[in-house]
Amino acid sequence: MRYHKIPDETVRRLPMYLRGLLLCREQGVRDVSSRKLSELLHISPAQIRKDLSYFGAFGTPGVGYDTAKLAKQIRGILKIDTPNKAALVGLGNLGSALLKYPGFGAYGLQISAVFDNDPGKIGKIVKKVKVEDVSKLSTLKNKNIKLGIIAVPASAAQSVADALVKAGIRGILNFAPFYLDVPKKVKVITIDIAMVLARLPYYLPASA
């Protein structure tokens, strides 16, 4: 099933709802109201109801949402109900941390291919994944991998993105501080911690 015209902001909140529902499940909560979810996630109940209404009628008035059922539905909407393999390019400080992080599994993401251009890293096996030469990125076509993660220096980010797109990648998580140019069919999400940090001091109280 495809969902059209769903605001990006709604899609952005769906994994948060999923995380909230998983927390409820861990605490043995079977049904949760939008008010309870709201307290957990700091998102207004009206916003939660509006977001979920895009996908049909979830929940029972007076009872709330069946946590297991809604979690399953959100996984389906996000297309993370089946495992998604991802290719990581750049096994430096950040790439190594990402490869070692166990928390992606809960959202169906598995880094199953790693590429670098450092001869000292190529051929090594890290977390059961063999580091391959970045010049072999085209082999992704045969591996049914549609997601790519870029953790190379900014100067290399565009050429890596071009090679990923050529290899059939349709979604890129970009950590490099660089605005990538890709065809419309490819979705890029850039995460730049420096940009987030740069606006945090703005909220500090004025110094006396």
Residues making contact with ligand NAI (CB under 6 A): 89-95, 115-118, 121, 134, 151-154, 156, 160, 175-177, 191-193
112 sits in which H/E element: strand 109-116
C-beta of 153: minimal distance to ligand NAI in Å? 5
Q: Which is nearer to ligand NAI, 63 or 191 (CB)?
A: 191
What's the chain's length in residues?
A: 208
Q: What is the dihedral of CA 98, 101, 104, 110, to 10 degrees?
A: 70
54 sits in which H/E element: none
179 sits in which H/E element: none
What is the spatial distance between Cα 75 and Cα 51, in angstroms, rounded to a whole number?
15
C-beta of 112: minimal distance to ligand NAI in Å? 17
Residue with tokens 């251009």: 117
Q: Which is nearer to ligand NAI, 48 or 134 (CB)?
A: 134
C-beta of 178: minimal distance to ligand NAI in Å? 7
Q: Which is nearer to ligand NAI, 20 or 95 (CB)?
A: 95
C-beta of 18: minimal distance to ligand NAI in Å? 23
Q: Which is nearer to ligand NAI, 92 or 123 (CB)?
A: 92
**3-state class (DSSP) for residue 162:** helix
Position with the least CB separation from ligand NAI: 92
